[in-house]
Amino acid sequence: MSSELATLGTADLGFNLNPEEIADLELFLQEMGRWNQVHNLTAIEGGKNLVLLHLIDSIAVLPIMRHFLNMANPQIADLGSGGGLPAIPIAILQPSWNLTLIEAIRKKTAFLQHVRGKLSLTNIQVLSERVEAVSKKEPGRFDAVISRAFTKLTHFLELSLPLLKPEGLVFAMKAKRADEELKGVCMDDWRLVADEPLQIPNLAVERRILVLSPVRKLPL
Protein backbone atom coordinates (compact mmCIF):
# COMPACT_ATOMS: atom_id res chain seq x y z
CA MET A 1 0.00 0.00 0.00
CA SER A 2 3.02 2.32 0.18
CA SER A 3 2.58 3.56 -3.37
CA GLU A 4 -1.17 3.80 -2.84
CA LEU A 5 -0.73 6.19 0.06
CA ALA A 6 1.30 8.53 -2.15
CA THR A 7 -0.95 8.10 -5.18
CA LEU A 8 -4.13 8.77 -3.23
CA GLY A 9 -2.97 12.00 -1.74
CA THR A 10 -0.32 12.18 0.97
CA ALA A 11 2.19 13.77 -1.41
CA ASP A 12 -0.44 16.22 -2.67
CA LEU A 13 -1.03 17.32 0.90
CA GLY A 14 2.67 18.12 1.29
CA PHE A 15 3.63 15.11 3.38
CA ASN A 16 6.94 13.46 2.68
CA LEU A 17 6.40 10.35 4.76
CA ASN A 18 9.36 8.29 5.89
CA PRO A 19 9.31 4.47 5.66
CA GLU A 20 8.52 4.04 9.37
CA GLU A 21 5.53 6.39 9.19
CA ILE A 22 4.20 4.65 6.08
CA ALA A 23 4.59 1.25 7.75
CA ASP A 24 2.70 2.42 10.85
CA LEU A 25 -0.13 3.97 8.82
CA GLU A 26 -0.42 0.80 6.76
CA LEU A 27 -0.48 -1.38 9.87
CA PHE A 28 -3.15 0.82 11.42
CA LEU A 29 -5.37 0.44 8.36
CA GLN A 30 -4.74 -3.30 8.21
CA GLU A 31 -5.73 -3.73 11.85
CA MET A 32 -8.80 -1.55 11.38
CA GLY A 33 -9.89 -3.64 8.42
CA ARG A 34 -9.29 -6.88 10.34
CA TRP A 35 -11.15 -5.76 13.46
CA ASN A 36 -13.92 -4.19 11.42
CA GLN A 37 -14.91 -7.59 10.06
CA VAL A 38 -15.83 -8.70 13.58
CA HIS A 39 -16.49 -5.57 15.60
CA ASN A 40 -18.03 -3.17 13.06
CA LEU A 41 -15.77 -0.23 13.89
CA THR A 42 -16.80 1.65 10.74
CA ALA A 43 -19.31 1.28 7.95
CA ILE A 44 -16.64 2.06 5.34
CA GLU A 45 -14.99 -1.00 3.83
CA GLY A 46 -12.35 -1.64 1.18
CA GLY A 47 -8.68 -0.63 0.94
CA LYS A 48 -9.04 2.44 -1.27
CA ASN A 49 -12.04 3.77 0.64
CA LEU A 50 -10.23 3.29 3.93
CA VAL A 51 -7.27 5.30 2.68
CA LEU A 52 -9.36 8.06 1.15
CA LEU A 53 -12.16 8.46 3.66
CA HIS A 54 -10.21 7.73 6.82
CA LEU A 55 -6.50 8.24 6.68
CA ILE A 56 -6.15 11.03 4.10
CA ASP A 57 -9.17 12.83 5.52
CA SER A 58 -7.68 12.66 9.01
CA ILE A 59 -4.16 13.89 8.26
CA ALA A 60 -5.42 16.71 6.03
CA VAL A 61 -6.00 18.75 9.21
CA LEU A 62 -2.36 18.54 10.27
CA PRO A 63 -1.01 21.64 8.48
CA ILE A 64 -3.63 23.80 10.19
CA MET A 65 -3.09 22.16 13.57
CA ARG A 66 0.67 22.63 13.26
CA HIS A 67 0.13 26.32 12.56
CA PHE A 68 -1.85 26.89 15.75
CA LEU A 69 -0.26 24.35 18.11
CA ASN A 70 3.28 25.65 18.15
CA MET A 71 4.08 24.65 21.74
CA ALA A 72 6.53 21.79 22.32
CA ASN A 73 4.22 19.03 23.57
CA PRO A 74 0.57 19.99 23.21
CA GLN A 75 -2.10 18.01 25.03
CA ILE A 76 -4.92 17.12 22.63
CA ALA A 77 -8.21 15.30 23.27
CA ASP A 78 -10.03 13.41 20.53
CA LEU A 79 -13.70 13.23 21.51
CA GLY A 80 -15.67 10.18 20.40
CA SER A 81 -12.53 8.71 18.90
CA GLY A 82 -14.27 5.62 17.52
CA GLY A 83 -11.71 3.69 15.50
CA GLY A 84 -8.99 6.21 16.31
CA LEU A 85 -9.69 8.90 13.74
CA PRO A 86 -8.19 11.38 13.43
CA ALA A 87 -6.08 10.80 16.55
CA ILE A 88 -4.02 7.74 15.61
CA PRO A 89 -2.80 9.02 12.21
CA ILE A 90 -1.98 12.33 13.91
CA ALA A 91 -0.12 10.53 16.71
CA ILE A 92 1.92 8.59 14.14
CA LEU A 93 2.99 11.73 12.29
CA GLN A 94 3.39 13.94 15.39
CA PRO A 95 5.21 11.81 17.99
CA SER A 96 5.85 14.83 20.24
CA TRP A 97 2.13 15.54 20.59
CA ASN A 98 0.20 13.88 23.42
CA LEU A 99 -3.24 12.64 22.41
CA THR A 100 -6.00 11.39 24.68
CA LEU A 101 -8.60 9.30 22.87
CA ILE A 102 -11.97 9.43 24.65
CA GLU A 103 -14.46 6.77 23.60
CA ALA A 104 -17.34 5.29 25.62
CA ILE A 105 -17.94 2.13 23.53
CA ARG A 106 -15.75 -0.63 24.93
CA LYS A 107 -15.29 -2.66 21.75
CA LYS A 108 -13.82 0.48 20.17
CA THR A 109 -11.56 1.29 23.11
CA ALA A 110 -10.36 -2.34 23.01
CA PHE A 111 -9.29 -1.73 19.42
CA LEU A 112 -7.63 1.56 20.33
CA GLN A 113 -5.64 -0.12 23.12
CA HIS A 114 -4.69 -2.90 20.72
CA VAL A 115 -3.39 -0.43 18.13
CA ARG A 116 -1.57 1.56 20.80
CA GLY A 117 0.38 -1.56 21.76
CA LYS A 118 0.82 -2.86 18.22
CA LEU A 119 2.33 0.41 17.01
CA SER A 120 4.10 1.26 20.31
CA LEU A 121 2.37 4.64 20.38
CA THR A 122 3.59 5.98 23.72
CA ASN A 123 2.12 9.41 22.96
CA ILE A 124 -1.51 8.31 23.20
CA GLN A 125 -3.79 7.55 26.13
CA VAL A 126 -7.11 5.73 25.72
CA LEU A 127 -10.00 6.50 28.08
CA SER A 128 -13.05 4.23 28.02
CA GLU A 129 -15.38 6.86 29.43
CA ARG A 130 -17.97 9.41 28.45
CA VAL A 131 -16.61 12.87 27.73
CA GLU A 132 -18.64 14.36 30.58
CA ALA A 133 -16.94 12.07 33.09
CA VAL A 134 -13.47 13.01 31.85
CA SER A 135 -14.37 16.70 32.12
CA LYS A 136 -15.20 16.31 35.80
CA LYS A 137 -11.98 14.41 36.54
CA GLU A 138 -9.57 16.50 34.47
CA PRO A 139 -10.98 19.98 33.82
CA GLY A 140 -8.82 22.45 31.94
CA ARG A 141 -6.20 19.87 30.96
CA PHE A 142 -6.04 20.22 27.18
CA ASP A 143 -4.49 22.71 24.77
CA ALA A 144 -6.83 21.50 22.02
CA VAL A 145 -9.83 19.30 21.38
CA ILE A 146 -10.65 17.67 18.05
CA SER A 147 -13.36 15.45 16.63
CA ARG A 148 -14.33 13.94 13.31
CA ALA A 149 -18.07 13.48 12.70
CA PHE A 150 -18.73 13.07 16.44
CA THR A 151 -21.72 15.29 17.08
CA LYS A 152 -23.29 18.62 16.12
CA LEU A 153 -21.04 21.63 16.52
CA THR A 154 -22.96 23.24 19.39
CA HIS A 155 -22.88 20.02 21.40
CA PHE A 156 -19.22 19.45 20.57
CA LEU A 157 -18.34 22.92 21.86
CA GLU A 158 -20.39 22.35 25.00
CA LEU A 159 -18.50 19.12 25.69
CA SER A 160 -15.13 20.67 24.83
CA LEU A 161 -15.30 23.78 27.01
CA PRO A 162 -14.65 22.15 30.41
CA LEU A 163 -11.67 20.23 29.00
CA LEU A 164 -9.84 23.25 27.58
CA LYS A 165 -7.13 25.41 29.05
CA PRO A 166 -7.99 29.15 29.06
CA GLU A 167 -6.41 29.72 25.64
CA GLY A 168 -7.36 26.31 24.27
CA LEU A 169 -8.61 25.60 20.77
CA VAL A 170 -11.33 23.45 19.27
CA PHE A 171 -10.69 21.85 15.89
CA ALA A 172 -14.00 20.76 14.38
CA MET A 173 -13.78 18.67 11.20
CA LYS A 174 -16.92 19.36 9.23
CA ALA A 175 -18.50 18.87 5.82
CA LYS A 176 -20.76 21.14 3.81
CA ARG A 177 -23.23 21.69 6.67
CA ALA A 178 -20.68 23.78 8.56
CA ASP A 179 -22.40 27.11 7.79
CA GLU A 180 -25.70 25.83 9.11
CA GLU A 181 -24.08 24.50 12.27
CA LEU A 182 -22.16 27.74 12.85
CA LYS A 183 -25.43 29.67 12.97
CA GLY A 184 -26.28 27.86 16.18
CA VAL A 185 -23.07 28.89 17.95
CA CYS A 186 -23.25 31.85 20.33
CA MET A 187 -20.42 34.10 19.22
CA ASP A 188 -20.56 35.89 22.56
CA ASP A 189 -19.12 32.68 23.99
CA TRP A 190 -16.88 31.53 21.13
CA ARG A 191 -14.47 33.19 18.72
CA LEU A 192 -14.05 31.74 15.23
CA VAL A 193 -10.27 31.69 14.80
CA ALA A 194 -10.20 30.01 11.38
CA ASP A 195 -12.54 28.47 8.83
CA GLU A 196 -10.47 26.67 6.24
CA PRO A 197 -11.40 24.35 3.37
CA LEU A 198 -9.66 21.00 3.37
CA GLN A 199 -8.66 19.78 -0.05
CA ILE A 200 -8.79 16.01 0.00
CA PRO A 201 -7.04 14.69 -3.12
CA ASN A 202 -9.21 12.45 -5.31
CA LEU A 203 -12.22 12.85 -3.04
CA ALA A 204 -15.17 14.79 -4.48
CA VAL A 205 -16.70 15.95 -1.21
CA GLU A 206 -16.46 19.21 0.70
CA ARG A 207 -14.44 19.23 3.91
CA ARG A 208 -13.74 22.12 6.27
CA ILE A 209 -11.91 22.64 9.50
CA LEU A 210 -13.32 25.15 11.97
CA VAL A 211 -11.01 26.43 14.69
CA LEU A 212 -12.71 28.07 17.65
CA SER A 213 -11.58 29.44 20.98
CA PRO A 214 -13.76 30.14 24.02
CA VAL A 215 -14.37 33.70 25.08
CA ARG A 216 -13.61 33.66 28.77
CA LYS A 217 -15.90 35.99 30.67
CA LEU A 218 -14.71 37.81 33.76
CA PRO A 219 -16.65 36.91 36.94
CA LEU A 220 -19.16 39.50 38.07
Q: What is the pLDDT of residues 144-199, one digit of tens each?
A: 999 987 788 999 999 999 999 999 999 999 876 788 899 999 999 999 999 998 87
Asked whether residue 77 carries a pLDDT value surpassing 70, the answer given is: yes
Between the ranges 28-32, 105-109, 126-130, where is the mean pLDDT highest? 126-130
pLDDT, residue 218, reads 46
Question: Is there a contact between 167 and 178 (Cβ–Cβ < 8 Å)?
Answer: no
- In the CATH hierarchy, which fold is given to the domain comprising 61-214? Rossmann fold (3.40.50)
pLDDT, residue 137, reads 93
Question: What is the enclosing helix (H) or strand (E) of 102?
Answer: strand 98-102
Closest CA to 202 of 56, 89, 86, 59: 56
Which residue intervals of the chain are DSSP H helices? Answer: 2-5, 19-39, 47-50, 57-59, 62-68, 87-93, 106-118, 131-137, 153-160, 178-182
- Cα distance between residue 164 and residue 160, in whole Å: 6
pLDDT, residue 45, reads 55
Of the candidate ranges 22-31, 74-83, 118-127, the one whose mean pLDDT is the lowest? 22-31
pLDDT, residue 10, reads 65
Question: Is there a contact between 58 and 85 (Cβ–Cβ < 8 Å)?
Answer: yes
Instruction: Say which residue, 117 or 51, is predicted with more confidence.
Output: 117
